[in-house]
């Protein structure tokens, strides 16, 4: 397929699916003009993807709007460059997106995720992780390197941190011109962490999309404090469409609408409640968690926990 056919395909996807139709029309003008100027002539697939992505993001900076180059040939299932079974296998090889779930000294829970796979794929793993951490005294959720994922995984995780169902986000979809509300779940497997113990969420510039949804929603619910740096700024959920053997385009067909703020984090990111360097976020949150643990008592069964907390806090400086 030559560059003209590829650009025509991209323009068609924009017109049919992009959540902002007016921007879609303007982008098609930009892309066709660049094509006529010869800006894409002679480029290999990888360079072509980079050049087109720069032009796609030139008007409103939507980081979910991309032409991507892949090393392997792309599948096409139900019109999208997405194979559910391949995605499931990927999840299994990546710990279902969970990099770490453990009790830290001082009875502080720590959950690090790299991708939020949907509950249909990772529900058992996420539930097991949250059940493991349910009896800790404080929780640190690390999404500094999480690039996003399924909104229903966000719903599942937040459900372990609240006692009653709560409306935490909505997503407007161009297709059907509808707005879907997202609520926490009335039931989750295993034991909840609950609504009363403190939570800190670690963020950074790599935190993106669904991971930002988790961070922003917990922040706006006043259920957690975010610690670290401003996130990537992608609030428009997308789908992916095959353009050529090794190329696909991701096109946002919706946008998040938070019920508290009436807006979202698109283009601005999630602003941390406690702004520190990304590398210092863990120590900062951990120290705050340990200080909380020391308020819970130091006699009886809590004595060894308090001793752990004091020793670890001293080491943190």
* pLDDT tens for each residue of 297-312: 999 999 999 999 999 9
Q: Domain range for residue 125?
A: 84-240+251-280
71: Cβ contacts below 8 Å, ≥ 6 apart? 246
pLDDT digits (tens, 9 = 90+) for 146-180: 999 999 999 999 999 999 999 999 999 999 999 99
Tell me the pTM.
Answer: 0.95
The answer to whether residues 41 and 90 belong to one domain is: no
Same domain, 11 and 132: no
State yes or no: pLDDT of 290 exceeds 90.
yes
Give the pair of three-digit tokens for residue 18: 């992009």
| Segment 96-108, tens digit of pLDDT | 999 999 999 999 9
Mean pLDDT for all residues in the chain:
97
User: What are the pLDDT digits (tens) for 128-147?
Assistant: 999 999 999 999 999 999 99
Looking at the domain assignment, is residue 310 inside a domain?
no
State whether 89 and 54 are in the same domain.
no
CA distances from 144 to 68, 95, 229, 262, 282 (A): 23, 17, 9, 25, 10
Whole-angstrom CA distances from 228 to 35, 203, 215, 231, 281 are: 41, 5, 11, 9, 5
Summarize pLDDT for 10-62 with one digit per residue, the tens.
999 999 999 999 999 999 999 999 999 999 999 999 999 999 999 999 999 99
Q: How many domains does the chain have?
A: 2
Residues whose CB falls within 8 Å of the CB of residue 2, separated by 6 or more in sequence, listed in order: none
**Both 115 and 191 in a single domain?**
yes
In this predicted model, what pLDDT tens digit does every residue of 197-248 receive, in sequence order? Answer: 999 999 999 999 999 999 999 999 999 999 999 999 999 999 999 999 999 9
**Same domain membership, residue 168 and residue 98:** yes
Whether 105 and 167 map to the same domain: the answer is yes
**Do 41 and 132 lie in a common domain?**
no
Last residue in a domain, options 61, 93, 110: 61
pLDDT number for residue 63: 97
In a domain? residue 13: yes
- Could you tell me if 98 and 43 lie in one domain? no
Q: pLDDT at position 284, please?
A: 98
């Amino acid at each position: 397929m030559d560059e003209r056919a590829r650009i025509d395909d991209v323009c068609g996807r924009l017109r049919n699916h992009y959540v902002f139709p007016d921007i879609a029309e303007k982008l098609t003008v930009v892309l066709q003009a660049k094509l006529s100027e010869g800006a894409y002539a002679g480029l290999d697939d990888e360079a072509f993807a980079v050049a087109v992505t720069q032009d796609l993001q030139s008007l409103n900076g939507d980081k979910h709007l991309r032409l991507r180059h892949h090393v392997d040939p792309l599948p096409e299932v139900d019109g999208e460059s997405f194979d559910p079974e391949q995605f499931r296998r990927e999840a299994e090889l990546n710990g279902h997106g969970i990099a770490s779930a453990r009790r830290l000294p001082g009875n502080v829970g720590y959950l690090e995720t790299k991708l939020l796979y949907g509950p249909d794929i990772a529900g058992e793993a996420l539930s097991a992780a949250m059940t493991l951490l349910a009896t800790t005294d404080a929780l640190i959720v690390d999404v500094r390197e999480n690039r996003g994922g399924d909104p229903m995984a966000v719903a599942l995780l937040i459900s372990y941190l609240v006692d009653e169902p709560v409306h935490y986000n909505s997503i407007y979809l161009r297709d059907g011109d509808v707005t879907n509300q997202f609520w926490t779940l009335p039931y989750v497997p295993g034991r909840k962490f609950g609504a009363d113990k403190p939570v800190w969420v670690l963020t950074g510039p790599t935190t993106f999309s669904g991971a930002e949804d988790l961070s922003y929603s917990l922040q706006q619910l006043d259920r957690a404090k975010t610690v670290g740096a401003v996130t990537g700024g992608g609030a428009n959920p997308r789908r992916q469409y095959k353009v050529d053997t090794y190329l696909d385009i991701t096109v946002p067909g919706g946008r998040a609408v938070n019920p508290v703020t009436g807006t979202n984090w698109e283009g601005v990111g999630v602003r941390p409640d406690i702004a520190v360097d990304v590398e210092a976020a863990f120590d900062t949150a951990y120290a705050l968690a340990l200080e909380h643990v020391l308020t819970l008592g130091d006699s009886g069964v809590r004595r060894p926990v308090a001793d752990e907390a004091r020793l670890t806090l001293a080491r943190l400086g």
